[in-house]
Amino acid sequence: MKGLIPYSIQVNGRLMDLSVPRVMGILNVTPDSFYAGSRKQTEWDIAERVEQLMEEGADIIDIGAYSSRPNAKDVAAEEEMERLEKGLRIIRQLAPDAVVSVDTFRASVAQRCVGEYGVAMINDISAGELDSCMFETVARLGVPYIMMHMQGTPQNMQVAPHYDNLIQDIMTYFARKIQALRELGQKDIIVDPGFGFGKTLEHNYELMNCLERLKILELPVLVGVSRKSMVYKFLDITPDESLNGTSVLHTIALLKGASILRVHDVRACREVVRIVEKMLG
């Protein structure tokens, strides 16, 4: 698609072309994610969600077992891994060829998920800030690494977030992280500017307005805005009512160069991608 950086990442021994926008479907095996419709804990619910994601055309399944919503409770590594194991076993049974990403900031969890379940990608909300071993671990594992910008932690990130220059601060943050990863030999890096993570409503819209500036990093950009507060708080609705606003933001993100959209509603997002591709040729 015009405007996207020609970039491929290595997943499960094959190349995934990111010059075509990709849809990452969310599988939350948590009891407390912000959007109640995404919470899947029983084996039946997880299996149903996996089948839905695949039927609707998800390019990647992103499984997470640690809620990163504001003020979320901390979860021990052992419990996080137990939840993930349940989900990963079901994915491997129902969709053995699926490209799976694990949403974790813990190097030990990343190590086990890749080593024991063949996970293809690691998605880290903290970009190594919450576990100093993460960069070294993903570089050794040789899997694509999604690193997100977050100011603070999930427990305190929305306590008066402040930036001297939002876009410049995020760019500087990523430049430093990219250099550290490259020095360790990490090949495939994807950046996520972190909508809703240590950012006010105004920060989120400023970030979306300037999203194309991330192209200077010459890396694929992942955007995660699905049913988030920048939609439902701005429109004074609920997460359940936020699909329409989410689709608008997905359209804008694609026009500004996003390579991957992380979403709850795969079918709706695929429709957005098809229409934008048709328009841009």
Find the catalytic residue in 40, 106, 256, 262.
262
Judge contact between 60 and 95, C-beta under 8 A: no
Query: Strand pairing partners for 192?
Result: 148
Sort strands 189-192 and 14-17 into parallel, antiparallel or unpaired.
unpaired
Burial call 117-142: b when 16+ CB within 10 Å, e when fewer: bebbbbbbbbbbbbbeebbbbbbebe
Sort strands 8-11 and 14-17 into parallel, antiparallel or unpaired.
antiparallel
Residue 47, both tokens? 């299996």
Tell me the H-state helices in 64-153. 77-94, 107-117, 134-141
Question: Is 187 marked active-site?
Answer: no
Question: Is 176 marked active-site?
Answer: no
Angle at 195 between CA 187 and CA 21, to 5 degrees: 55
Find the catalytic residue in 49, 228, 256, 270.
228
- Which sequence positions are flagged as catalytic? 228, 262
